[in-house]
A = this chain, B = another copy of it.
Amino acid sequence: MSDIDGRAVAAALRAEVAADAARLREEGIVPTLAVVVPTDDEGTAWYVRSIGKAAEKEGIDCRIEHLKDPGRDEIVAKLQELSADPAVHGVICQTPLPEGVTLSQVGGYISPYKDVDGANSESLGRLAAGLRTFPPATAAAVLELLKREDLVLDGAKAVVVGRSTVVGKPAALLLLNESATVTVCHSRTKELAAVCREADVLVAAVGRAGMINADFVKPGATVIDVGTNPTADGGLVGDVDYASVAPIAGRLTPVPRGVGPVTTAILLRHTVIAAELTKTHG
């Protein structure tokens, strides 16, 4: 088994982003990402700061818009304001959202041209229809990791465990666009291990620490672990039981240092693409 090195992929992507950002700045465009943070959650604050640092490092300005105990209307107003601001190219609405507010609802107020984390359902629909769009960054990171490996997705059997709007469903649509035969599993799936064992490519996005063990993996399969489950000691573990799966899988992303850094790099790449789009779409 070989580990898929998420940090190396992220570094390669970020080098491209830095070059694009430098070129845009020479043209007088300062690529700018705005992150709306509607929560006081500590983990979220840490994550948002890490995006901000990564952005600045590659030449992207990052505006963090913290909202104190916002209601739905305040979040919507901020997303509309940023969508209309010509100095802002990418807009993210960070989760968790306040009780009763869903990302699917408020995401519709992010302009599709600036929707660098694919939160607008129009972006998801364009993905399903095979049109140009920004997929959710985590789902795009899964594909980026797979496409940089020496494997054939065309005709491969891919199984995605998890049917969320932000990861499972868009990852399935991206894999389908690559001509994989795609199965989406979830909490109601029967004989889950057996279904997963059919997969050439297995994507774990369930949010349950270590749930995917050796029983779920065909020898030689490529396994992408999207899980980021906090541990008691402040660390992170994936949805895949690494020790059990590593001897069986052909390739496996670790957690941390797998999907996570690539997701951040994809957000930055989407932001420079969005900045580039302003040349034609204003």
Q: Which residues of A contact B (CB under 8 A)?
A: 104-105, 120-131, 154-155, 157, 163, 165, 169-170, 172-173, 176, 179, 181-186, 188-190, 195
Contact = CB atoms under 8 A, between A and B. Distances in A.
Given A122-B125, A131-B121, A165-B129, A181 B188 contact: yes
Contacts of A165: 128-130
Copies of the protein in its oligomer? 2
Given A121-B128, A188-B154, A176 B181 contact: no
A130 to B, nearest CB: 7
17 contacts: A105-B131, A121-B128, A122-B122, A123-B125, A124-B125, A124-B128, A124-B129, A125-B125, A128-B173, A129-B165, A155-B189, A155-B190, A163-B176, A169-B176, A181-B184, A181-B186, A182-B183
Nearest to A185: B181
Given A121-B125, A125-B122, A128-B121, A184 B190 contact: no
Contacts of A188: 154-155, 179, 181
Contact of A129 (B121, B129, B157): B121
Nearest to A168: B176
Given A122-B122, A125-B125, A130 B104 contact: yes
Given A155-B190, A182-B183, A183-B183, A126 B130 contact: no
A173 B131 CA distance: 18
A179 B187 CA distance: 9
Given A122-B125, A163-B176, 10 more contacts: A104-B131, A123-B125, A124-B125, A125-B126, A128-B170, A128-B173, A176-B184, A179-B186, A181-B189, A181-B195
Contacts of A190: 155, 157, 181
Contacts of A172: 184
B181 A182 contact: no
Which 4 pairs between the two chains have the least Cβ-Cβ distance? A125-B125, A121-B125, A124-B125, A183-B183
Contacts of A163: 176
A278 to B, nearest CB: 20
A104 B129 CA distance: 6
